[in-house]
């Protein structure tokens, strides 16, 4: 059962969304807000020929769990946001405000069990999930799909290093010079005032303030402070985050957590679909291949939610 909804955390930025409900609603059902990864993504989290959030919503509905997904603010209002915020944009305006409003919408729905509303974050959404909960999400639990407890700078630099290794030797020297320049830009952020950071473009449309603000709210702080049930999952062929530096670091940081569960899926990529090439340089070609989320992943998420 699908219903069109509007998520309005900011009156200037109403967002189209979809509430997907199980066909049977004899009792109030658990529900999940789906929070996107990086970039201007639609409600399905469409990446080339894949639709991760649509797959999750359809699969979880069959398992008796409702979901709410919506277009990301930067997807619908990209130019308007650049004009209004410029270098002042942070994850608060881009992600967190809308996610918290979506949680409240689910809690107010009479068909949803208000005490069993969860947040499922993918990639950047998974990274921010503990912060969203701490800032007022008041969630029953967190599902972290291919997230990272590291800073974005660390992940970006690692991805660049991996990409360099896949280049021809003649191209590597030029690429290493470019990565060193990026490293120097990242290193300079710490010494910037808020004003200077809001005026300094790092790469593309990303300003230094975007990263500096995130560092002022360390991901690991929220992670180790939460007592909410957490499910951390990742594919072992994910080339955008690392088993050693991300998945295992989650394990280490949450080793004393009373209710943390970890699952690593063999052969799956960053979108929890079958890895075809398994290299960063071919990742966009891989995402051009129409695939769906492996059913075991959906079933495991549903089983975990029911058990909480």
Catalytic residues: 123, 238, 270
φ/ψ (deg, to 5) at 42: -85, 180
Inter-residue contact 119 to 280 (CB < 8 Å): no
Q: Is 229 helix (H, G, I), strand (E, B) or coil?
A: coil
Dihedral, 113, 105, 58, 147 alpha carbons, nearest 10? -100
Nearest CA among 299, 288, 293, 243 for reference residue 273: 293
The β-bridge relationship of strands 230-235 and 141-145 is parallel
Of 54, 213, 33, the closest CA to residue 126 belongs to 33
Maximal C-alpha separation, the chain: 65
Q: What is the Cα 171 distance to its own chain's centre?
A: 32
How many other C-beta atoms lie within 10 A of the C-beta of residue 296?
12
For residues 67 and 61, is the Cβ–Cβ distance under 8 A? Answer: yes
Token pair recorded at residue 198? 């809001």
Q: Which two tokens stand for residue 252?
A: 């280490």
- What one-character-per-residue DSSP string does 202-223 give? EETTEEHHHHHHHHTS-HHHHH
């Amino acid at each position: 059962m699908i219903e069109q909804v509007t998520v309005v955390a900011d009156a200037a930025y109403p967002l189209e969304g979809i509430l997907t409900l199980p066909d049977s609603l004899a009792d109030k059902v658990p529900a999940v807000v789906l929070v996107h990864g990086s970039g201007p993504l639609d409600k399905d989290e469409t990446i080339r020929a894949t639709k991760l959030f649509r797959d999750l919503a359809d699969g979880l509905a069959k398992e008796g769990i409702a979901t709410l997904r919506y277009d990301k603010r930067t997807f619908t209002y990209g130019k308007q946001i650049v004009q209004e915020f410029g270098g002042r944009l942070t994850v608060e305006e881009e992600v967190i405000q809308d996610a918290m409003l979506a949680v409240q919408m689910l809690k107010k729905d009479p068909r949803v069990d208000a005490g069993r509303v969860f947040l499922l974050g993918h990639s950047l959404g998974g990274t921010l999930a503990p912060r969203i909960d701490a800032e007022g999400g008041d969630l029953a639990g967190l599902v972290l799909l291919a997230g990272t407890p590291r800073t974005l700078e660390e992940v970006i630099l690692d991805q660049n290093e991996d990409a360099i290794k896949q280049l021809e030797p003649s191209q590597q020297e030029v690429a290493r010079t470019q990565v060193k320049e990026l490293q120097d830009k990242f290193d300079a952020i710490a010494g910037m005032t808020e004003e200077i950071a809001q005026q300094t473009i790092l790469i593309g449309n990303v300003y230094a303030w975007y990263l500096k603000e995130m560092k002022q709210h360390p991901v690991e702080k929220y992670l180790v402070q939460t007592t909410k049930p957490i499910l951390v999952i990742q594919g072992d062929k994910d080339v955008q985050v690392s088993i050693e530096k991300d998945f295992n670091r989650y394990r280490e940081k949450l080793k004393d957590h009373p209710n943390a569960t970890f699952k690593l899926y063999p052969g799956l990529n960053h979108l929890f679909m079958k890895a075809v090439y398994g290299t960063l340089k071919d990742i966009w070609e891989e995402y051009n291949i129409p695939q769906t989320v492996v059913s075991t992943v959906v079933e495991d998420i549903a089983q975990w939610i029911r058990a909480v």
